[in-house]
Structure formats: C-alpha cells, structure tokens
Amino acid sequence: MNTMVGQLKLETKLWLRQKETVFWTLAFPVFFMLLFGSIWKENTWNNMPAISYLLPGIIVMALMTTCIVATTTGLVEEREKGIFRRLSLTPLKRHTIIGGQIAQRYLVVLLQTALLITIAVSFFEASISGDFLLFWAILTLGAVCFLSIGFALTGLIRSAKSAHPLAMIVFFILMFLGGCFFPLDVMPEFLVPVCKTLPSAQLNESLRLVATGGAGLGEVWQALLIVSGWLVGCSALAVRFFKWE
C-alpha cells in the first residue's frame, strides 16, 4: 500500500510539471463551461435550463480529455523515452506502475468534475438532483471505461508522433457522435443507431438522467451495460497489445 501511495505521489508531481497537460485537462473543460454557460444562460433545452442539459456532456468531454487523450499521448511518450524500461529495472512491480497511472488520472477526473459542477451551480444556476452516489458510480465506470480505451490505444499506436493526432480523432468521434453538446435526435437518422452504441453517448445520457431527472439504477442499467461492454473489450485489447518498450 505504501508503495502504491508513493507511486501516486510521484505520478501527481510529474503531472503537475506538465503545464500543457494540466491546461488541457482542467482549463479546457472550464473554458467550455464558461462559454456555453454565458451563451445559453437564459435558454431552456428539453424543458430544463440549457446549462443543466449541457453539464453532463461537458463532464464526459473532460473525462475523455484526461482518460483518452492525456493517457494515450503520455504513456506512448514515456514508452518511447524508455521510462517504462528503466522502471522495470527497479523493485517496482508492473501493477504498481499501472495502478499509480490509473489512480492519478482518476483523481484528476474527480477534480475536473467537482470544478465543473461548482462553476455550473454557482455562476449559471444549474439544477442538479438525483442520487449522488449513483452519479459518482456512473462517473467512475465512465472514467475506467475511457482509461481502458486510452490504454488500448497506447498498445496499438507505435510512435509518440502519431499518438496525439490519433487520440484526438477518437476523442472528437466520441464527443460529437456521443451527443455531448446536442441531443442525438438532431443527428441524421442513419447515424443514430451508431451513436447509441458509443460509450460517450450512453454515459452522457446516464449522467443527465440521474443529475437532472432523478433517475435510478433501473432506468440507466442498459446504458451502463453498453459502457461495461466497452470496458471489457478495450481492457482485453490493452492487455493483449500493451507494450512496455
């Protein structure tokens, strides 16, 4: 346990030194919150304040920024620099290294979410109801799912040069087709079934139903099943293709 805590502290210090990563993972989602909140502060969407509708989507976008983009680019760069190879020569076990990476990113996810909710409620009067524990559980499942996608991409991408553009392609596909900023029913009809298979769409809808509609587990379990399927599938890919050097 002490070793894991030490690894988490190390990963946190390394993350704080990466100013660009800190900006994209914290300032980027906040920018969208302030922008959309200012534009649509007086509007209502689907019989609710627009910012209340948009908040879950911005949270999902923040999750993907940390768990997919930052994870993929960061791990591929560390692998290419030989950091993993050097760590393998130390007494640290591989599961400790990976555990530290996952725990650090999960803490960032919690920080992002708390920051976004605080801004939405304090400055734009977003209304949030529902079961907080269920909201947190869905958020955690989504974070782990997107982390599995990030680790899977890390195994499939060969060089740091191609890591960022490929991660961004996956990010934008999941963001725009996942309905983060607009309802899926405005999408072309032939795309809707595809969109509904994406973890971003199901996670976004689940968080929205719980946060603004007070939904319970019985109303979101099917969506969470799809997210879990992505988690299992991408975890299998990550285990199969993840490279240490």
Q: Domain boundaries in the chain?
A: 2-241
Closest Cα partner for 180 from 195, 165, 162?
195
Q: What is the pLDDT of residue 1?
A: 61
Burial of 233 by CB count in 10 Å (0-12 exposed, 13-18 middle, 19+ buried)? Answer: middle
Give the Å distances, CA to CA, from 144 to 101, 135, 233: 12, 14, 12
pLDDT by residue, tens only, the chain of 245 residues: 667 777 777 777 777 777 777 888 888 888 888 888 888 877 777 777 788 888 999 999 999 999 999 889 888 887 787 776 776 666 667 677 778 788 889 999 999 999 999 998 888 888 778 889 999 999 999 999 999 999 999 888 888 888 889 999 999 999 989 888 877 887 888 888 999 999 999 999 999 999 888 888 889 999 999 999 999 999 999 888 877 66
